[in-house]
Structure 1
Amino acid sequence: MQQGREYSMLQANQSTLKQPSFTKYWVSRTLSSTSFQMLSVAIGWQMYQITHDAFSLGLVGLAQFVPMVLLTLIVGQVADRYDRRMIVFLCQIIEGMVAALLLIGTIADWLGREEILAAAAIIGACRAFEGPSSSALLPMLVPKELLPKAIAWTTSAGQTSQILGPTLGGLLFSVGPVYVYITAALALLTAGGLSFFIRVRTELTVKKPEPVTIQSLFSGLVFVRKHPVILGTISLDLFAVLLGGATALLPIFAQDILHTGPWGLGVMRTAPAVGALMMSMILAYFPLKRAYGPTLFGALAVFGLATMLFAVSKQIWLSLIALLLIGASDVISVVIRSSLVQLQTPDEMRGRVNAVNSLFIGTSNQLGEFESGTLAGWVGAANAAFIGGIGTIVVAGLWMVLFPSLRRLKSLSES
């Protein structure tokens, strides 16, 4: 009987990427995320080449981030009321068209500061709609028992994009920005084509959405607040990443502490993504089956300890090991959090809840970099990273007390 269950699980593990709609989804998401990373590199470099102004460079990131904050409530409503597949398709096509316009503007030499900021804002708005819609679409593509594995595969796509995107964008930009925009435009249009041909599982029924009211606009936030496991998981990730954002300080470590120069910075920026990719592939083949709560808090403890190790390291090889552990432990948290949000949220609410989740993730990343930079300005980069690691562990311990249901969580279906 045990061998039969193991064989059945092996068949299930092998079947995830063999499902045509999920495969199209995975390739489409990889192309879209990689293109976004490429465009972010190219837009930033080109803005600085045109303006030679650090403030204008900062506005590019702000232009991409602000739409996500402003559109959070609207994005959730749209994702729960309309065909999520078509939302993803339209966003990817529009992003591809923006890349094509950046290409034309570069060739025709009319691309300036305002045009780049407008392009960044449009891409940011599209990503604001695409992210939650794409996340809410995933449970409609695979059986419930395969969802954690599908999330692990999807996470691996994101980590692959974070490795390939900036590298490929930088290499192509060194030849000329037009090559970045051509590649990104073609990849995004291909991603859109794949999204268009995705088919959801036929056994799913679509419920008629409730009328748009003030209550429904905030229903995603209300749902998260009323479910301690989801609230605890999302808020835990928010504060842990907020305090443990040592990666924002990598330029200081590369130049002033490890004395490696630009090559060391590049390798260190890649290390967390490599660690995350390795762990996501492990989880794709050997998914978590039990003790989700203890595993989540254990991963956060490793994240905090690895951050502290990175802070005190004076050798590049030891720093890279610490960064690999940071990326790997963070992915465990991402997979557990994403699985909980997807499995414990009704399909008709997934768009709104995923929009809230995306806002928390974006906020933690942006504010985490700000917090780390500010603290480093007061106490130094090494001390700031060490304090951040301690803060992550303290937050994990505090959340174990505040959310006992999360601490005791054994199954993804528990609430």
Structure 2
Amino acid sequence: MRSNDPYAALKYKEFNIFLAVRFAMVFAWSMQFVVIEWEVYSITKNPLSLGIIGLMEVIPAVSLALFAGHIVDQKEKKGLLVKCILGFSVVSFGLFLLTWPQMVQDISTKVILYSIYFLVFLGGIVRAFLGPTIFSLFSLIIPKKIYPNAATWSSSVWQMGAVLGPALAGFTINWMGVHWSMCLIFGFSLMALIFLSQIPRKPILNPKIGEPVLQSLKEGIKFVFNTKIILGAISLDMIAVLFGGAVALLPIYAQDILKVGPEGFGILRAAPAVGALITMFTSAYFPLNKNAGMKLLAAIFGFGLCIIVFGLSTWFWLSVIALFLSGVTDGISMIIRQTILQLKTPDHMRGRVASVNSMFVGSSNELGAFESGLTAKWMGTVTAVVFGGTMTLLTVVTTGIALPSFRKLDLRKDIKEHEDNN
């Protein structure tokens, strides 16, 4: 099999099933987040409430991340993933009931709002285990020699779900209402379970089954902090996403600044993911492994510029273009970071490394949402977005100056070593 074959990973049946599961879950999760954002802001008309949604999800996701990584490395991956999807289904069904007008007509708005926050919190618990489990299962169904190609396709499918979920959310809110939008989300979680049933159980590769929890967690953290390439990549991305979390304020832009309604909101929400998706499909043909460090720095710098343009824009289509280009640059960052993680992480530590990555990068989306909501409350929406973009630019410049070795990062040698070993 040619190492530069853009379809190499798609020749493995189990990997295709894995992609279907991942798409269904990303679609459902991203659509649910958008629907809940819209519902909560419609109830409160308070920017801070959008930040609270992110905070309610990130608190359990971060608090349990390291423990979840330990469990993932100790347990069979498919069974854990089934439990994660079932947990998400329970949360989705609860939100379905909370948005059913006949069901909640005698319940106060305050109780409904707090109940939504509680279910989002439960979703954060599920998420703590979901990400590391998917990351670990990935390595069990695909040969190491095609990890970079498989990582590109996996990221592409992730972005496809992130494109269609928010876009469809905007239209279904308008056509069907929030309640039936939640019903559709619940259906996609069941679809993921059906797909997953076609993947057989996989062996546990951890040679330290039964290792004490604290010792296991210490080993995972030590590995990440001693592997400077991994630490640098996820730290840089975390800070960029933390300060560039303008997406959390899109309901305000759609309703109050651009005045484009739910359909325009759906377009704005999907624009970054469309850009990232195009980047990822393109990278299957034109890999980003050469001069990966410089490309990562340039991509995140471009992301910060796009966020600033979006924050200042009062023209809908300029806002869409800025968000689209932010997705292009974010897609480059994601591909390089995922390739680094897959190439540099030993099989028996994938759960713990993925958990640390989740604490850095995954949680930064929700922390960024909280930061954006809080600064929007203090500074005003436009100022908050521009501030976040500016901080992203400063972070990239500082990193580039402080870590010259990171600028010289090139992944071609690592890929060649994996090909020779397989």
Give the TM-score range, shorter chain.
0.7 to 0.9
Whether contact under 8 Å (1:299, 1:330) holds in the other structure is: yes
Give the aligned residue type for 1:334.
Answer: M
Whether contact under 8 Å (1:99, 1:184) holds in the other structure is: yes
- Report the Cα distance in structure 2 between the residues aligned to 1:123 and 1:153, rounded to whole angstroms: 26
- Report the Cα distance in structure 2 between the residues aligned to 1:281 and 1:201, rounded to whole angstroms: 29
Under a length normalisation based on structure 2, what TM-score does the superposition of the two structures give?
0.83
**Counterpart for residue 14 of structure 2:** 21
Once the two structures are TM-superposed, the CA of residue 361 in structure 1 deviates from its matched residue by 1.8
Whether contact under 8 Å (2:170, 2:262) holds in the other structure is: no
User: Mean alpha-carbon deviation: is it higher for 157-166 or for 321-330?
Assistant: 157-166
Q: In the alignment, which of 57, 60, 70 is matched to residue 63 of structure 2?
A: 70
User: Mean alpha-carbon deviation: is it higher for 118-127 or for 333-342?
Assistant: 118-127
User: Mean alpha-carbon deviation: is it higher for 389-398 or for 65-74?
Assistant: 389-398
Give the aligned residue type for 1:345.
Answer: T
- Report the Cα distance in structure 2 between the residues aligned to 1:206 and 1:405, rounded to whole angstroms: 32
Whether contact under 8 Å (1:98, 1:119) holds in the other structure is: yes
Give the aligned residue type for 1:212.
Answer: P
1:365 equivalent in alignment to 2:365:
yes
Once the two structures are TM-superposed, the CA of residue 167 in structure 1 deviates from its matched residue by 3.7
**Counterpart for residue 8 of structure 1:** 2
User: Mean alpha-carbon deviation: is it higher for 283-292 or for 78-87?
Assistant: 283-292
**Counterpart for residue 160 of structure 2:** 160
Closer, same or farther: CA 127–294 of 1 in aligned 2, 3 Å:
same
Once the two structures are TM-superposed, the CA of residue 199 in structure 1 deviates from its matched residue by 4.6
**Counterpart for residue 87 of structure 1:** 80
Unaligned runs of 5+ in 1: 1-6
- Report the Cα distance in structure 2 between the residues aligned to 1:182 and 1:254, rounded to whole angstroms: 24
Closer, same or farther: CA 372–180 of 1 in aligned 2, 3 Å:
closer
Q: State how 1:34-53 maps to structure 2 within 5 Å.
A: 34-42=27-35
Unaligned runs of 5+ in 2: 416-422
**Counterpart for residue 198 of structure 2:** 197
User: Secondary structure at 1:14's aligned position in 2?
Assistant: coil
Closer, same or farther: CA 317–44 of 1 in aligned 2, 3 Å:
closer
Aligned-residue Cα RMSD (Å) equals 3.4
User: Secondary structure at 1:109's aligned position in 2?
Assistant: helix
Closer, same or farther: CA 46–408 of 1 in aligned 2, 3 Å:
closer
1:96 equivalent in alignment to 2:89:
yes
Closer, same or farther: CA 77–14 of 1 in aligned 2, 3 Å:
same
User: Secondary structure at 1:90's aligned position in 2?
Assistant: helix
Higher relative contact order (CA 8 A, sep 6+): 2
**Counterpart for residue 207 of structure 1:** 207
**Counterpart for residue 185 of structure 2:** 184
Closer, same or farther: CA 408–190 of 1 in aligned 2, 3 Å:
same
Give the aligned residue type for 1:191.
Answer: A
- Report the Cα distance in structure 2 between the residues aligned to 1:21 and 1:118, rounded to whole angstroms: 35
Closer, same or farther: CA 387–340 of 1 in aligned 2, 3 Å:
same
Under a length normalisation based on structure 1, what TM-score does the superposition of the two structures give?
0.84
Q: State how 1:242-261 maps to structure 2 within 5 Å.
A: 242-251=242-251, 253=253
Whether contact under 8 Å (2:205, 2:348) holds in the other structure is: no
**Counterpart for residue 4 of structure 1:** none
Q: State how 1:16-415 maps to structure 2 within 5 Å.
A: 16-42=9-35, 60-100=53-93, 106=100, 109=103, 113=112, 116-172=116-172, 174-175=175-176, 179-199=180-200, 206-209=206-209, 211-251=211-251, 253=253, 264-376=264-376, 380-411=380-411
User: Mean alpha-carbon deviation: is it higher for 71-80 or for 295-304?
Assistant: 295-304
- Report the Cα distance in structure 2 between the residues aligned to 1:309 and 1:170, rounded to whole angstroms: 23
Whether contact under 8 Å (2:164, 2:270) holds in the other structure is: no
User: Secondary structure at 1:8's aligned position in 2?
Assistant: coil
Whether contact under 8 Å (1:149, 1:285) holds in the other structure is: no
Closer, same or farther: CA 96–409 of 1 in aligned 2, 3 Å:
same
Closer, same or farther: CA 338–168 of 1 in aligned 2, 3 Å:
same
- Report the Cα distance in structure 2 between the residues aligned to 1:58 and 1:307, rounded to whole angstroms: 18
Once the two structures are TM-superposed, the CA of residue 125 in structure 1 deviates from its matched residue by 1.5
**Counterpart for residue 419 of structure 2:** none
User: Secondary structure at 1:66's aligned position in 2?
Assistant: helix
| Deviation sequence 1:68-107 (CA, Å, 0-9, x none) | 0221121010111111222112211232344445557759
- Report the Cα distance in structure 2 between the residues aligned to 1:120 and 1:377, rounded to whole angstroms: 22
Closer, same or farther: CA 109–210 of 1 in aligned 2, 3 Å:
same
- Report the Cα distance in structure 2 between the residues aligned to 1:89 and 1:240, rounded to whole angstroms: 32
Once the two structures are TM-superposed, the CA of residue 197 in structure 1 deviates from its matched residue by 2.7
Give the aligned residue type for 1:72.
Answer: A
Whether contact under 8 Å (2:54, 2:369) holds in the other structure is: no
Once the two structures are TM-superposed, the CA of residue 356 in structure 1 deviates from its matched residue by 1.0
Give the aligned residue type for 2:20.
Answer: V
